[in-house]
Amino acid sequence: MAIVNITINGQNIQAKAGQTVLQAATEASIHIPTLCHHPALPPEGACRLCLVEIEKQRALQPSCTFPVTEGMVVHTQSPKVLEARKFVLTMLFSERNHFCMYCQKSGGDCELQNAAYEEGMTHWPLQPNWQPCWVDATHPYYVLDNNRCILCRRCVRACGELVGNFTLGLEARGAKTVLVADCGVPLGESSCVHCGTCVQSCPTGALIDRQGVYLGKEAQFERVPSTCVGCSVGCGIEMLVRDNQLVRIEGNWQAPVNSGVLCEVGRYGSLHRGRERLTTPLVRKNGSQQPVSWDEALDFLAERLGPPPKRMSKRVAALASTRLPAEALYFFKSLFGDQLHSAMATGIEEEATTGVQHSLIEKDVSLNGSLDALKAADCVVAIGVNLLDNHQVAGFLVKRNLPKGTQLIVIDPFENPMHGLTDYALQPKRGQDYALLLGIMAGVIRSGMSKGKLPSGFDLKKYTSRSVSKTTGIPAKTILEVARLIASAQKPVFVYGKGITQNGSTKVLRALIALARVVGASELVGTKGKANSLTAHRYQLDKSFDPQGYKAVYVALGDDELSPQLMKGLDKVPFLAVQASYASPVTAKADVVLPVGMWAEQEGHYLNMDGRLQVAQRGLQSPQDVRSNLEVLQAVAGHLGVELDSDWRQALGQVKG
């Protein structure tokens, strides 16, 4: 990259061509105050606080948008600049209600207040114009107070350019400009997806988090970097902890997967507000659960599980949540699979065929696509997957690129909200997604646009666009259009979910792989399921659960919930032991309940959907009598007199940093 020589405040700096003055200054540790600027967002140049004096320029220039040029001479602290800065702040304060004494952001967290302190402003030269703006408190998670808004558009840009939702926008002109949702509907009734990225981006008190409000300031929080365990995307998060309370969760702007963006599940769902904690071991005596000591509970459990059998046995079936850390999952496998020789030690995921899917893809590592590929794709084919409701951040990565010209093709025989995102919403008749893929493949080959070889085992003769149109119900013209669209893409990416393996068949996935080969693509992204779904697969904990005939069932649930189907399977179990963080129907049914820490109270490793190994840190202390998932499995093994293998890393196989 070309080097550009510039001078800032008399200091010679080698900047990179294409950088802005602000970027060059920041890299050289020269501070320029900003408000509308945010490193994760495209520059805006709205607030004018970053104005600098550039020699040979007629007027002061905003450093956040002004590109560096050879020989440029910049002054960031000249009297003219300082005067302009104070003037900009004066105008901002005079526009609305910026009285700090009753604002939750006051005292270090407000970028506007900090900027005023930095300029040594002891008072406002101009008083406000006393025009009240409306406040919108209709949203379940945040309050929008237009009186505190400085119209920097950070939230608008976050909503559109990071999340791809385009809910927020500005309405009216000049001093009357206000932030609105959609075309002016209340925020709570808008198209908002509750991801909270706008709140995290707001520099003032205009967007306030309802649940964390007045519970502390930045200086009082400990920020614990960690990984979200809400799903297999594995977003980087920061836990904001004060006095052992998880006050807020924010997206980590530096995280490679999500770069700061989170979804509702990760930001608000993970706070687990309103769930009832289990704080002491329970044992069923005379029909009701009684609190007991750990020793008593473990002795009782060991007695009921009996001495470890020597060979494969139908004594204990075991079920583990795939939200548990890899360390705990490996202990689980070692305890129930290896030491107790259970043929039924498996994970909680109901997609019984995930395992088959994983195996098919994992055999051919070159086909294991990444989330980074999704960010750069110019054509995304989503099949059997709903990224608007599950794995939402992966959905954001796709949605935000649509206005930039990325083509989206959604194939699903069932109703899929993603169909609303694109003109190419293909809904073949039930069971005909396979035929459709072959039709598209045949279309690519017949158009002479194939870039790779058709794998063996596919006979496309019958799959003319006309015949496929007849079986799938999709117009022949559309099939050909889609075929050409995928074939002409530079970086096509295929995303698939559990919807493509109906009835345990991998037929559709095989067809998808073949299509990827034909168009020369190497990026297939499988959404997997929960946070450690891939780990569970690598540990062979992914067969479907059937406790029939077993004398006892052990459920390592952690802070997860059990699906109604799995619950039903436990109906006739003679003896049920559960390790769980929260009270639920399954713990109510159990004969032994062992209380364990929730996700924020334990540390461990997670393998996300594209095979990246990440660490989840511990941010909170567990209640006094509660142990971690790992400790409990170890204690159970101890009481049974067996040794556990702890080399979880080795068994995980190949991972990305």
Which residues lie near another protein (CB under 8 A)?
97, 99-103, 106-107, 113, 116-117, 120, 122-124, 127-128, 130, 132, 147
CA atoms within 13 A on the CB side of 227: 25
DSSP result, 320-344: E-TTS-HHHHHHHIIIIIIIS-BS-
**How remote is the C-alpha of 124 from its chain's centroid?**
42
Q: Least distance from C-beta 130 to another protein, angstroms? A: 4
Distance, in Å, from the CA atom of 537 to the CA atom of 418, rounded to the nearest integer, reads 28
Give the amino acid at 125.
P
Distance, in Å, from the CA atom of 111 to the CA atom of 106, rounded to the nearest integer, reads 9
For another protein, the closer of residues 77 and 279 by Cβ is 77
Pick the closest to residue 501 from 386, 415, 385 (CA basis): 385
For another protein, the closer of residues 102 and 423 by Cβ is 102
For another protein, the closer of residues 97 and 581 by Cβ is 97
Distance set, CA 55 to CA 9, 75, 514, 606 (Å): 11, 8, 60, 53
Q: Least distance from C-beta 118 to another protein, angstroms? A: 9
Q: Least distance from C-beta 25 to another protein, angstroms? A: 22
Q: Least distance from C-beta 168 to another protein, angstroms? A: 24
Residues ≥6 apart with Cβ < 8 Å to 304: 552, 575, 577, 591, 592
For another protein, the closer of residues 124 and 458 by Cβ is 124
Q: Least distance from C-beta 121 to another protein, angstroms? A: 8
Q: Least distance from C-beta 114 to another protein, angstroms? A: 11
SS (H, E, C) 225-269: EEECCCCCCCCEEEEEEECCEEEEEEECCCCCCCCCCCCHHHHCH
Radius of gyration of the chain (CA): 28
Q: Least distance from C-beta 104 to another protein, angstroms? A: 11
For another protein, the closer of residues 128 and 473 by Cβ is 128
Which region, left, alpha or beta, applies to residue 562 given φ > 0 means left and ψ of -120 to 50 means alpha?
A: beta
For another protein, the closer of residues 93 and 221 by Cβ is 93
Vertex 563: Cα angle to 553 and 337 (nearest 5): 35
Distance set, CA 509 to CA 6, 450, 519, 611 (Å): 55, 19, 15, 19
For another protein, the closer of residues 217 and 446 by Cβ is 217
Inter-residue contact 316 to 642 (CB < 8 Å) = no
- How would you class 607 by CB atoms within 10 Å of its CB: exposed for 0-12, middle for 13-18, buried for 19 or more? buried
Inter-residue contact 502 to 496 (CB < 8 Å) = no
For another protein, the closer of residues 120 and 405 by Cβ is 120
DSSP 373: H
Q: Least distance from C-beta 116 to another protein, angstroms? A: 7
For another protein, the closer of residues 130 and 288 by Cβ is 130
Q: Least distance from C-beta 386 to another protein, angstroms? A: 45
For another protein, the closer of residues 114 and 138 by Cβ is 114
Pick the closest to residue 558 from 538, 519, 537, 587 (CA basis): 587
Q: Least distance from C-beta 177 to another protein, angstroms? A: 18
3-state secondary structure of 542: coil
For another protein, the closer of residues 106 and 467 by Cβ is 106
Q: Least distance from C-beta 102 to another protein, angstroms? A: 6
